[in-house]
Amino acid sequence: MENIIKNWKTTVAGIIVGSVAVAVALGYITAEVGGQITSVCIALGLIASKDGNKTGVAN
């Protein structure tokens, strides 16, 4: 739980990606749009992520 709070940006990106997957499954958005949104969120999540052994996460 502590890492979720420390890595809140990647957690938020993961929640958004999960929400997009649900929206596609329920038919609210098309698979093409869902794929584009997911790609952007994954890219932003990777940019925002930190190496656990480099900055503030590893104990």
pLDDT, one tens digit per residue, over 21-39 is: 899 999 999 999 999 988 8
Residue 53 counted as domain residue: no
The predicted pLDDT at position 31 comes to 94
Distance (Å, whole) CA 12 – CA 51? 17
CA dihedral (17, 2, 59, 54) in degrees, to 10, reads: 30
Residue 17 counted as domain residue: yes
Tell me which residue range forms the domain holding 25.
Answer: 7-48
* pLDDT beyond 60 at 58: no
Residue 55 counted as domain residue: no
pLDDT tier for residue 3 given thresholds of 50, 70 and 90: low
The predicted pLDDT at position 12 comes to 79
27 versus 48: the higher-pLDDT residue is 27
Residue 58 counted as domain residue: no
Distance (Å, whole) CA 45 – CA 31? 20
Residue 54 counted as domain residue: no
Residue 56 counted as domain residue: no
Half-sphere exposure of residue 14: CA atoms within 13 angstroms, side-chain side: 7
Domain count, the chain: 1
CB 31, CB 6: distance < 8 Å: no
